[in-house]
Every structure is written in structure tokens, then in C-alpha cells.
Amino acid sequence: MRSLQSRLGYGLTLSLIAVFTVLWFLVSFSIQYLAEEYVTSRLRHDAEMLLGAIQFDKAGNISVDESRLGPVYSKPFSGHYYLITSAKQVVSSRSLWDQQLASTPVKTGEQNSRYMGGPNDQLLLVINNGFVKQGNALSVTVAEDFNPVSQSIRQFKNRFAITAIIMLLLLVMLQVFILRHGLKSISRIRTELQSLQRGDADQLNANTPIELSPLVNEINHLLSVMEQRLRRSRDALGDLAHAIKRPLTILQQLTNKNQSTLPADLHEGLAKQVSEINQLTDRMLKRARLAGQSHSGARFSFSQDLPELIETLDSMYSNKSITVQVNLTEGIRCPIDREDMLELLGNLLDNAYKWARNSVSITINVNATLDICIEDDGPGTDINQLQQLDKRGVRLDETKQGYGLGLGIASDMVREYSGTLSFGTSNTLGGFRVDIALPVEEDVFIPVDTEGS
């Protein structure tokens, strides 16, 4: 769907163009009409003045008292012409020179007007009046060159169009500005949503216009409900783990303590079952605790959580001196829930530390996917067994909680995030190598400074 801003922008621009076009036509017609009206009325006055200057002699011949007329009628092709037609005679103004003015007959007391071509490409507005003077019917035709008026009108129209276009552009700009300003809260919410996805924020800013506040409040409400639900379920699972582990610990200790008095097979069976229950609950509970691809909860931070995790592992394996090499692109963000990521990396690194002789390496890259590669310089594992590793419940080393359980939990997590997990032999360190690719939402990697886009 097109953006709200461009839709509003197009709509407003089109309606402005329509308004200005209609206005232009209206003004053009009006000005033309007014000019014609004005010229016509002037010509009528000229005709009446002419009528006053007309005299008939006894024979009924017309004579025009030129002194009563303005000089425009004497100057050739001045643009002002007259033609007097009586029953006997046709008298035309000197300004017509050798040209003729076609006259249409008109009844007494009537008037008609029309345009016609005149000398020197003049456009003449011609009015015809029918009069009776001293008992003689005459038609007085007065014409004026309309070109100068038309030219003024054209000039006015052009100026008007230019002004209108400038106004239109200014209005469009103003309107874009108003829209930007008005939609700022929407683009702010957009950037906030991005930082929400990245895990930089856990709520949207509730200080929004009233039109948007129900939406924002609803999102905030859902977020807090989801977060609460996740926390509650994690707490409940923690309590469940606590509750199950308590009798398990005691059962295990009773079994161990009574090793000498219990029949050997019974002891072995008990010990095995206890460790089975323990591993199963661990795995089930951890799977149930996964946040998955929800946007609630804190995100894992490579710059903060990863060093802490490595310190933790260093303390746990303080009897070994293991060098960890972290290959990490500066400043990348992890779009994955903190606890999930700690669980995933914790289990994988725990395996690596457990088997490594001297060094462990972690390589993290973010492209279309989040790629994690963990290698160690331990003994590695047989490729045939590797293929069974991530299947549920298959363990390579039943007694040592070896690669199996940790990798099982890791593979549960990868599955939850619809990623891939593969094992192999490290080329650089020679030991075990795990490769993980987790799909990430593209949005997450847009830099923060996209405001106003």
C-alpha cells in the first residue's frame, strides 16, 4: 500500500490543480465578457453621438458634421470606423479609407453585434443600430478594433496563469510541509517500532496525537501483556524446574549413598532413570522457556552479554586455560531474545570449553541471516554420529552429558527460530565445529537515523 503521505499529497495537489484551472477559466471568461460589454457600450455611445452629427438635406442626403466627431474617425485605419447606411446612400468614415465595412441590415430600434475582420488584420467588434432620424430610416454601424483589448486580456490571462502556477507550487510545498509535520508522529512511531524490534525499547511513547493514541496504547498493552505472560511462564517453569529438581536431587543422592546396599542392577537402573528424567526435564523446560520470535523482552547484546557469558565460562572452566577468539563485526545488533541467545551460545560454548584443549573460536556475522560458528581444538566427533546428534534424545555420551544434551537444546532453539544447525570438523582448529544460521527480519538492521524517510 502506498504511503499515507504520498496519498494525501497527491490528493491535495490534484484538487488544488482542479481549483486553479476552474478559477482560471472563470476569470478568463469574465474578463472577456466584461471587456466586450465595455467596448460595446462605448460603441453604442459613439453610434448615438454619430446619430447626433448626422444631418439630412432636403433631398434626404446625409451629411456628417465631422467636427462633432473625434479625430479617430478621420485618421486612416485608426481602428475606429463607422458606416451609415440609408435608403439612398452609404457614408463611411474617413478612417476606413478605401476599405469597406460590410453591414448587415437591421430593423429600426434594434441592435446587433458581431466580430469581423478589418483592414490591417484588425479584429473588429461591429455593432449595428437601426435608427430613424427626421423620418429617414438609417442603420449606423460602428466598429472598433478589438485587438488591443484582446492583447490586454491575453496579457492579463498570462499573468494570472503565472501567478496561479506560482501560488499552486507554493501551496503544494506548504501542504507537503504541513503533511510532513502532521505525519511526524506516525514516522516517529515507525522509528519507535523499529527500535522495539531491535529490542532497544520495550514500549512505544504514549505521547501521540489523539487519533493515534488508541493504536499506540493497544500496542503497548499487548507488549506488556506479552512480556508479562512470557515472564510469568518463565517463572512458572523455573518454579516447576525447582520443584522437580528437588526430589530428583534427593533421589539421586539416596541412590548414590545406598550403592553398596542396593542390588547392582537396581542401582544402575535408578541412576540411569534419574539422569534421564533430569535431562528430559531440562530439555523440555528449556524448550518451553524459549521466547521465540516475539518482540517482547530484552535483546541479546554482543558487546555486553557475550563478554559476560565468556567470563562465566572462564570461571566455570577455571581449571583449564582456554583462549577464546571472538570474531565479531563491530556494532552489529542481535535481533534475538537475550535469554534465548544466552541459552543457545551457553550450551554451544559449554560443549566447546568441555572438549577444547586450548582454544575456542566464535565467529558471528550478520547478513540476511545471523550466522554463528563455534569451533574448538578438541578431539571432534565422528561424522556419522554427528548426523544423529540433533535428533531428539540421541546422546553421544550418555554419562557425561556430553555433546548431546547441549546440542539438543541448541537445536530446539534453532528450530524455534526456523534456522539451520550443522556440525562438522573445524578447518582452522581441528576440533568440533557448529554452524548456525538464524533468519532475521531485515528491518532490524536499518540504522537508527532514518527519521523523516
Partner 1 sequence: MRLLLAEDDADLVATLKKDLEAAGYAVDTADNGIDAEYLGDEGIYDIAVLDLGLPGRNGIDVLKHWRASGSTLPVIVLTARNAWHERVEGFKVGADDYLGKPFHVEELLVRLTALLHRSSQQPGGTLRVCDLVLDEERQSLTTTDGRIHNLTGTEFRLMRYMLLHPGKILSKSELTDHIYDLDSDKDSNVIEVYIRRLRQLIGSDRIETRRGQGYVFKDF
> Which residue ranges make up the site for partner 1 (CB under 8 A)?
238, 241-242, 244-246, 248-254, 256-257, 274, 278, 282, 286, 289, 305, 308-309, 311-312, 315-316, 318-319, 338-339, 342-343, 345-347
Q: Which is nearer to partner 1, 134 or 318 (CB)?
A: 318
Nearest to partner 1 of 308, 382 (CB atom) = 308
Q: How far is the CB of 419 from partner 1 (least distance, A)?
A: 18
Task: Select 51 or 316, whichever has its Cβ closest to partner 1.
Answer: 316
User: What whole-number distance in Å separates Cα of residue 35 and Cα of residue 142?
Assistant: 17
Name, in order, each residue with C-beta under 8 angstroms of 11's C-beta and a sequence gap of 6 or more: none
- One-character DSSP codes across 421-437: EEEEE-TTTSSEEEEEE
In the complex, least distance from residue 333 CB atom to partner 1, rounded to whole angstroms: 18
Beta bridge partners of 80: 144
Residue (252 or 365) nearer to partner 1, CB? 252
Shortest CB 311 distance to partner 1, Å? 6
- CB of 343 vs partner 1, minimal distance in Å: 5
> CA–CA separation, 408 vs 272, rounded Å?
19
Q: What is the largest CA-CA distance in the chain?
A: 165
CB of 308 to partner 1, least distance (A): 5
Distance in Å, CB of 307 to partner 1, minimum: 10
Residue whose CB is less far from partner 1, 171 or 298:
298
Between 319 and 367, CB nearer to partner 1: 319
Cα 9 from Cα 4, distance rounded (Å)? 8
Amino acid identity, position 112: N
Give the C-alpha separation, 164 to 141, whole Å: 40
Distance CA 101, CA 111 (A): 16
H or E element in which residue 339 lies: helix 338-355
Based on CB atoms, which residue is closest to partner 1, 250 or 383? 250
**List of E strands, 34-119:** 54-56, 62-64, 80-86, 90-92, 111-117
Residue with cell string 500500500: 1
* Helix, coil or strand: residue 208: coil
Smallest distance from the beta carbon of 407 to partner 1, in angstroms?
A: 14
Q: 52: which 3 cell numbers?
A: 447626433
d(CA 282, CA 406): 10
Torsional class of 337: left (φ above 0), alpha (ψ -120 to 50), beta (otherwise): beta
We find the least distance from the C-beta atom of residue 327 to partner 1, in angstroms, to be 21
CB closer to partner 1 out of 274 and 444: 274
Give 183 or 248: the residue with its C-beta nearer to partner 1. 248
Q: Which amino acid is at 445?
A: F
Can you tell me the distance from the alpha carbon of 209 to that of 216, in angstroms, rounded to the nearest whole number?
10
Q: CB of residue 241 vs partner 1: minimum separation in angstroms? A: 5
Q: How far is the CB of 351 from partner 1 (least distance, A)?
A: 13
- Is the CB of residue 374 less than 8 Å from the CB of residue 349? yes
Nearer to partner 1, 310 or 386 (CB): 310
Q: Facing residues of 420 across strands?
A: 437
* Smallest distance from partner 1 to CB 248, Å: 5
CB 437 within 8 A of CB 419: yes
Name residue 363's beta-bridge partners: 327, 373
Instruction: Output the DSSP codes for 237-282.
Output: HHHHHHHHHHHHHHHHHHHHHTTTTS-HHHHHHHHHHHHHHHHHHH
- The least CB distance from residue 423 to partner 1, in Å, is 20
Give the closest residue to 142 by CA, choosing from 68, 74, 80, 55: 80
Q: What is the distance between the alpha carbons of residues 263 and 261, in angstroms, rounded to a whole number?
A: 7
